[in-house]
Amino acid sequence: MIPVYIFMIFLFGLEIFVQHNFEVKYVFVYLFDLQFVFGGVLGAQHLWFLTVIMICYMITPLLYKNKEKLLSNYRVILFVIAVLAILLSYVREEIGRIFMYILLYVSAYGYRNRRNDKEKSKILLIFSIIVLFAIRIIARKFWDGTVLYNTIVVCFTQILLTYSMYWLLDEVFKNVEIKNNAMLNHFDAISYYVYITHYMFMVGPVRTMGMTQNGMINSGISVLLSWVTGIILYKIANSIVSYKRGLKND
């Protein structure tokens, strides 16, 4: 969470000195990673996903402890979680979404331990991706704004698209040596930090998407700034981590 804390100090500073609309409660919301529950500040709403990651971390020991039971009852457990997610979506959408992401995490945990190297058809995977996008578009046309679309259709198609795209990329690049690729290693190292910083250029006090009348230029500027600020955040966060490790070693 160190990168998030550093980023939020910067964003809170902008709120205090530029926007003049700082709310103290959000300090505690981001401090305890509860932004999915209580909402977030402009430019950092996308960090709701970190609350979900925290929940997944919390259930990981339970999955590890009951790994054999999970693997032997894999489909039944996924079915139960999916039904719970659907039912709870109609109680409160946020709770339903949390269970949807738990479904994805548990399914991925089980898949990792059950994985085989059976080759998958690239054509079938591409077709699956197209169909899932079509379902998403059609469902939005008829049910946009409802629990059925906003939570159930969106989350299930996201889960299936995640697997389809992963399997497709795995098939495409499985024989490509990427471990020593400097460019890929660079973007792999800073991807989390770019994720943290990018949204403040979409909205908020440093929004660049409306800087000009040209969407391509705006997008290019936003991508460039996201990359630069991601690198800066990466360096600051790693300096702090290295300093803390040095103190422990002393």
Residue-level pLDDT at 17: 82
Q: For residue 142, is it within any domain?
A: yes
Average pLDDT for residues 42-52, to the nearest whole number? 85
Average pLDDT for residues 206-228, to the nearest whole number? 88
Q: For residue 249, is it within any domain?
A: no
Q: pLDDT at residue 83 above 90?
A: yes
Measured from the Cβ of residue 240, the count of other Cβ atoms closer than 10 Å reads: 14
Residue-level pLDDT at 202: 87
Average pLDDT for residues 220-248, to the nearest whole number? 86
Q: pLDDT at residue 114 above 80?
A: no
- Does residue 222 or residue 114 have the better pLDDT? 222
pLDDT in tens, 137-159: 999 999 988 999 988 999 999 88
Residue-level pLDDT at 224: 93
Report how many domains make up the chain.
1
Average pLDDT for residues 112-129, to the nearest whole number? 79
Helix axes 93-114, 48-65, angle to 10 degrees: 50
Q: For residue 60, is it within any domain?
A: no
- Does residue 177 or residue 53 have the better pLDDT? 53
Q: What is the DSSP string of 52-119?
A: HHHHHHHHHHHHHHTHHHHHHTHHHHHHHHHHHHHHHHTT-HHHHHHHHHHHHHHHHHHHHHH-----
Q: For residue 3, is it within any domain?
A: no
Q: What is the largest CA-CA distance in the chain?
A: 63
Residue-level pLDDT at 116: 64
pLDDT in tens, 169-209: 888 877 777 777 788 888 888 899 999 998 888 887 788 88
Which region among 10-19, 114-123, 154-163 has the lowest average model confidence (pLDDT)?
114-123
Residue-level pLDDT at 240: 86
Residue-level pLDDT at 247: 66
Mean predicted lDDT score pLDDT of the chain: 86
Q: C-alpha 27: how far from its chain's center?
A: 21
Q: What is the DSSP string of 108-138?
A: HHHHHHH-------HHHHHHHHHHHHHHHHH
Residue-level pLDDT at 157: 92
Q: For residue 163, is it within any domain?
A: yes
Residue-level pLDDT at 73: 86
Which region among 74-88, 92-106, 128-142, 198-212 has the lowest average model confidence (pLDDT)?
198-212
Q: For residue 141, is it within any domain?
A: yes
Residue-level pLDDT at 250: 60
Q: For residue 218, is it within any domain?
A: no
Average pLDDT for residues 113-117, to the nearest whole number? 67
Q: For residue 156, is it within any domain?
A: yes
Residue-level pLDDT at 233: 93
Query: Containing domain of residue 164, as a range?
Result: 126-176
